[in-house]
Chains A and B, each alone.
Chain A
């Protein structure tokens, strides 16, 4: 009798603590636990600090590989002329520029029969919550001579509460941004909302490595090398410590794929690059 009472109590407390962790108003900021309201502010600070050296740090940390990953992402998207595309958390415009080039490249236009009218209609929206990152992006656009190009539209906005209409986008990409969002489910729900029927969701994100020896090497690199690089190049060790911690806290590939499915998407797939260091999740809204 006493034993049964004891087991019921432990079971009950286990259930309570499980529910508590589901509905808690604390979330993770790297390995710290912080209040939800604070997370977006803290993330905002991180990106305000790193905005100017974001691109250089990306190149150094990934040894230039991030370019290949983004190429792969855009390749998977298969952009077409006249598409309305939304790139969320795409502040400095890496993905957006690649999509723009893919649609407008002369070679592509020569090979395929594209009518000029649909080329005009192409709209690529770059949405970012951090105005500093957007400014860096706008500057890069100006450097490429695209300052006044109507196809690229820079919008300040929150991934969890997009200002776009329902069923208005052909494509939605989020590259290295979704782990910074406080409520991933909300971001996924918003993605589902703004996509048209047949629209595609693509997410490029640092993910989990399972391969035995490689995992240890990767952890070593992440925790020993990257924060030091951050200090050296960007002058900000803490932001990069946050970065590597947030990668570990992000759900693994399978669980994230399930979350995408829960948001209503179909044909959820993921592709691991470099053994799982990066994963591209893709899905369709039907």
Chain B
């Protein structure tokens, strides 16, 4: 959403490199210096933390630890990303679990204790994967994906297919990932990630919608994407042929739906106009009759 808005503002020359890195939702505040954060447990009150801007004793560490807004990522976030990336290799075997992350951390050469510090552990892994896939999709699009010769519905199909194909290596464990995303705690983030994905696809297709249409389009595509994703879970056909056929049908339906709604709108307008005209004619007739009758009666 941010990328498309930015593009509209700044024109076609704007390139968003890694800007779509989703900030992990944190209920805490971060002090730039030593990354002190406070999280609330007791329901009694909130504590707000004032960032320490300057600290004379910080000289030793201040060199590479400046304001977080300037430095793209903190060291522990980099380490976390590295561990999660290594963990993905173990997911087909161990699932989206702590064990996969422990194995990943061992691959990177870090103590598995670090997994304990990830917030919402398994969800962190799934969300990382979703972010990576979105980034890959953007990269594919940027590096010249040929969409010129396709009509919009085919473009949407192609993009959704590309995105879903990224999940094929993890297909055996994908139901687990879906259930993790569906946990109430994780829903806000997973919803946001899917919204960004859908927005990205529509933007690439060349969407010029605004107002209510914007929401309708994204909701419909979100529905198409989710149903195809779930269909794919039980698809046994070679190379997921059935899934792509299913996808094409759904996308066509969605576009047809749009056409049908438009047609219905025009139809209603026409009927309205027609009814209005005939009603008007009726009223004119009535008025004339009344006026002549009234005239005749007054002459009585």
| Interfacial residues, chain A to chain B (CB-CB below 8 A) | 76-80, 83, 112-114, 170-171, 195-200, 210-211, 214, 253-254, 257-258, 260-262, 264, 266-276, 282, 284, 286
Closest 7 CB pairs of A and B: A261-B34, A78-B116, A198-B110, A198-B111, A198-B114, A257-B36, A196-B111
Question: A275 with B42: in contact, given A257-B34, A257-B36 (CB under 8 Å)?
Answer: yes
CA distance A260 to B98 in the complex (A): 27
Distance, CA A268 to CA B30, complexed state (A): 9
Complex: chain B residue closest to A201, CB-CB: B113
Q: A254-B36, A268-B34 are in contact. Are A284 and B44 (CB under 8 A)?
A: no
Residues of A close to B40: CB separation below 8 A: 271-272
How close is B120's CB to chain A, nearest CB, in angstroms? 12
Tally of A-B Cβ pairs under 8 angstroms: 117
Q: Is the pair A112, B98 in contact by a Cβ cutoff of 8 Å? A: yes
When A112-B99, A113-B94, A254-B49 are in contact, do A282 and B42 touch as well, CB less than 8 Å?
Answer: no
Are B38 and A200 within 8 A (Cβ)?
no
Interchain CB contact under 8 A, B116 and A275: no
Binds A, one of B73-81, B150-158, B170-178, B287-295: B73-81
Pair A258/B36 contact, Cβ less than 8 Å: yes
For residue B115, CB closer than 8 A to chain A, the reply is: yes
Could you list 14 examples of A-B contacts with CB < 8 Å? Answer: A80-B112, A83-B113, A198-B113, A200-B114, A200-B117, A211-B44, A260-B34, A261-B61, A267-B37, A267-B74, A269-B39, A272-B47, A275-B42, A282-B117
- Cα A269 to Cα B37 in complex, Å, equals 5
B38 pairs with A284, CB closer than 8 A: no
Does B215 make an interface contact (CB < 8 A)? no
Are A214 and B34 closer than 8 Å at their CB atoms?
no
Interface contact A272-B41, CB-CB below 8 Å:
yes
Contact at B36–A268, with CB atoms within 8 Å?
yes
Is the CB–CB distance between B28 and A83 below 8 Å? no
* Least CB distance, B208 to chain A, in whole angstroms: 44
- Contact between B113 and A171, CB atoms less than 8 A apart: yes
Q: Given A113-B94, A257-B36, A262-B57, are A269 and B28 neighbors across the interface (CB < 8 Å)?
A: yes
Which residues of chain B (18-76) have a CB below 8 Å from chain A?
28, 33-42, 44-45, 47, 49, 52, 57, 61, 74-76
> Which residues does chain A contribute within 8 Å of B37, judged by CB atoms?
267-270
Contacts of A274 in B (CB 8 A): 42
What is the minimal beta-carbon distance from A260 to any residue of chain B, in angstroms?
A: 8
A264 to B233, CA, bound (A): 46
**Contact between A198 and B28, CB atoms less than 8 A apart:** no
Instruction: Provide the residues of chain A in CB contact with B33, threshold 8 Å.
Output: 258, 261
